[in-house]
Chains A and B, each alone.
Chain A
Amino acid sequence: MSKGARAAFVVVGFAIALALVVYGVVGWLLHKPPTISAQPSSTPGVVNVTMQVDGAVGTGPHPSWVGYRVQNASGQWIQTTIIQLPAHSDVHFTVYQYDSGSGFRNPVWDQVAGTVGGVAYLNGKSATYFNDQVGNGIGHSFNVPALGINVPFAGVNGNASNFCNAGPCTMSQLHNTITFDIKTGNPGMYRWQCFVPCGLGFLNGNGGPMTTVGYMGGFLKVVA
């Protein structure tokens, strides 16, 4: 082989290696769930976030996992857990909870905390805590450590005939509606997670969807 041909081989080899690396990074590693912004409301200074929690998201690589969907500006339910919020404003959360419930691993998360007035509304009724050992237990919870927010979402009856088996779920299916308000502070990335062991089939219920962003944990992206 001539020197030129060998040089060409080397250059092509390095180019292929580079292409593989770029493909790996762009095609796989940079993957993130989409970001959905809060929607403006009729009250000035208040924005709305509407979410649903599905017992099974029904789409994507893990259709049987539990997960959140957030409603975007055109009313579509997008499966994600990254929500963009304006800084220093009131955010009104409406959560449609379609999943059945269980207990917390640590019942301290029964307490509602960090919301406006320290309360959350379950189907319109206010409460400062929800007992995870009664009724259908707790389906999921919304916990933002850095903002001190904790809201448990009561579960629904998993044996009901109109139980939602796969997302996106619709309003005619059995659900609980939980509403609460929070005040955002300075801009930043605030991570949030669920504390109910809802990663079914994983040890302690904390694997799978619990450890994957886009299902049971994500960020509140507070921007100026």
Chain B
Amino acid sequence: MAIDYSKATGTGSSSGAPGGGGGGLLRPSIITGIIGGVIGWLLGHWIGNSFTQGYQQVQGSGSNDIAEFMGYIFMIIGWFAGLGALNYPIQKLFGVEAEAEEPVTEKGWTKYFRYTLDHKTVGVQYLFGMLVYFFTAGLLALAIRTELLSPTYHIWSPDTYIEIVGEHGTMMMMMMTSVVLGPFGNYVVPLMIGSKRVAFPRLEALSFWFTPISYFILLSGLWQGGFQSGWTGYAPLSVQQGVGQDTYILGFGLQGLSMVCASTNIVATIINYRAPGMSWSRLPVMGWSMLSLGFTMILSIPVLIDGLYVLALDRTAQTSLLYSGHGGSSFLWENLFWFFGHPEVYLLAIPGFGLVAEIIPVFARKPIFAYKTSAAGFIGLAILSFFVWQHHLFQSGMNPDMRPLFMLTTELISIPTGFIYLVGMGTLWRARIRLTTPMLFMLGVYFNFLFGGLTGVYVSDVPINVTVHGSFFVMAHFHYTIMGGVIFAFFGAIYYWTPLVTGYQLSEKLGKIHFWTMIIFFNSTFLPLFAVGLLGMPRRVFEYAHRLQFLNQWVSISAYLLGASLLFFAVTFVWQLAVTRKPTVRNPWGSRSLEWYVESYPPPAYNFKRVPVVLSWPYEYGDPNALPVADIVNETKDLDPVGRA
């Protein structure tokens, strides 16, 4: 009784969809995308070079930002044309109306290398994409720590070092913003709300395919002289830099577009595609976190794109918005950047908290404590995050009289953050706790974030900020909140949902080894950095005081061990999925959430045979007489499975 809803919506497409053509290598895929990208780059670079021949600034510097931009912009267009992503918009221009069913039933592994409209395929693409980006940026972090083994001896040339720092920061910040929304928001949330599809599958697919090209462009900066401005790209330093800075602008900008697409889709999906009975008061907290995240992205990211765009103009068209010598101001960049930049860190935190609040009740066998408070916490974080950006600029000399106000708003944000602790602690109270790998990671988030949150009080307090601003203290603080928060939650979520996504069970033993090594070495890496910062070491330096050498070496060695722990994860994860492949039991964690009640693992095309009717709240773990979560729950299959963890 699977219906063909695409006819009804009128937005579906057959001929416009990728994969509609013939087979073989010319069928749109990542290969044709790369071919398109190469052709586009050659064309764009040639055009850019040819019309800037006589530009004085180009001749003097021997570097041509316009050709760089033209090359990359054409490359992006070529990439999407090659992927087949442009077919549909072009066909729409000629009024070709979609008639047939969307091709989400494609089988085989090759679909993961195509522009596809199936939200589950996109989720898996995102998962592996994010892991690649995370590991690349993680290796760059190890390169930084290698340099800091010695206060005076230099492994890298200082220019290479500062470029590595910038690449690490930018890649982590821009890519990891989608680390939960991309894989789990796209894959799991539609299942959780009982939908057969997402609202805008093309936007969703587009959002993923922005990321590989953005990753490539950003990384390509390293072999073009890099950018020395760090991920914050403060002007006028970023105006002064060579062509490497253009890769920062384009890479970051593309990732911004990706986030806008992804959040538009997730917001529209959660609002409109909830199954009958999935009222707002029954929406899983993960849904609330994604909704808050989506709205925050929609309202903050255009400002980032504005900032990057203005910087690009200053670098190519020689406007002077960011250069005070010609009527601009470097404060403009700081404002535009941090107006995005502070919501950005909550874009990282909110989904992490969403995962925590979602997964803990499953392993506590208790209803989530203070459900409404958790939703209020996400919304509060989202709203307050727009009113704190100047706390990055306490020492900048900009609007100094506003500092008490921004100190207040910044400290107010610990109230919604506190809600998340209240929810977690209340849920654990009188619970029946199973310390499985996902649960350990979620508890790890609480452990780590506590340090991040407490040191947040130091950095938000203006008098203390005088000492800690721009030091390793701040750096340790945000690694505790971001890596200790969202990245731990991300790994926990991987262990939690891999059985659903792949149909294979991951080893609890290996998972626990990963967890314990990761949390120990994570803390051993970042806890000493608070001391390093307080003792006077600024961020992004390659020389430091001799008295800090022991601490820095301790940190570097811990960082290698942390890297080893993550490598252990990468190897065991891929090995278990590709080689050993132990099939999972049904609903291995005993969750009540809707995604586990699909027909098979991985879920079939269109998720559900028929739209489920939601009968109860997904967190009714405490009430043995509660109705099952939806009418698709199969008594024999689901309610008494054997062999669960």
Contacts and interface: CB of A to CB of B under 8 A. Distances in A.
B57 interface: yes
A201 B157 contact: no
A208 interface: yes
A3 interface: yes
Contacts of B143: 25, 29
Given A10-B574, A201-B59, A32 B240 contact: no
Interface stretch (B60-68, B95-103, B449-457): B60-68
Interface in B28-65: 56-63
Interface string A209-221: 0011110000000
Interface string B545-589: 000000000000000000000000001001100111000000000
Interface string B158-177: 11100010000000000000
Given A21-B139, A30-B156, A213-B157, A206 B579 contact: no
Given A6-B579, A10-B579, A64-B62, A201 B164 contact: no
Contacts of A203: 236, 239-240, 323
Nearest to A187: B152
B571 A14 contact: yes
B153 interface: yes
A62 B236 CA distance: 23
Contact of B154 (A6, A10, A189): A189
Contacts of B56: 201
A149 interface: no
B178 interface: no
Contact of B60 (A189, A200, A204, A206): A200
B61 A208 contact: yes
A199 interface: yes
B18 interface: no
A224 interface: no
B150 to A, nearest CB: 10
A207 interface: yes
Interface stretch (B222-230, B608-616, B636-644): B222-230
B158 A191 contact: yes
Interface residues of B, number: 36
A192 B236 CA distance: 23
B484 interface: no
Given A188-B152, A201-B59, A201-B60, A211 B160 contact: no
B63 A208 contact: yes
Contact of B240 (A64, A204, A212, A213): A204
Contacts of A28: 222-223
A196 to B, nearest CB: 15
Contact of B62 (A25, A62, A211): A62
A31 B157 contact: yes
A108 interface: no
A207 B240 contact: yes
Nearest to A30: B156
A200 B223 CA distance: 22
Interface in A58-86: 62-65
Interface string B121-160: 0000000000000000001000100000000111111111
Contact of A201 (B62, B575, B580): B62
Interface in A145-193: 188-189, 191
Contacts of B436: none
Nearest to B153: A189
A26 interface: no
A7 interface: yes
B62 A10 contact: no
A13 B573 CA distance: 14
B416 interface: no
B579 A7 contact: yes
Contacts of B225: 212
A24 B156 CA distance: 13
Interface in A39-64: 62-64
B498 interface: no
B152 A201 contact: no
Given A201-B62, A207-B241, A208-B242, A29 B156 contact: yes
A201 B57 contact: yes
Name which of B57, B58, B139, B579 has the most chain A CB atoms within 10 A of its CB.
Answer: B579
Contact of A211 (B152, B159, B580): B159
B62 A63 contact: yes
Given A29-B160, A189-B152, A207 B579 contact: no
B58 A204 contact: no
A3 B579 contact: yes
Contacts of A33: 157
A64 B59 CA distance: 9
A59 B62 CA distance: 13
Nearest to B320: A203
A204 B126 CA distance: 42
Contacts of A213: 157-159
A111 to B, nearest CB: 25
Given A6-B578, A29-B222, 8 more contacts: A9-B578, A14-B571, A14-B574, A200-B60, A202-B242, A203-B239, A206-B240, A208-B242
17 contacts: A3-B579, A7-B578, A10-B579, A14-B571, A29-B156, A29-B164, A31-B157, A62-B63, A64-B60, A64-B61, A201-B60, A201-B63, A203-B236, A207-B61, A211-B228, A211-B240, A213-B157
The 5 closest A-B pairs by CB, nearest first: A201-B61, A201-B60, A200-B60, A64-B62, A203-B240
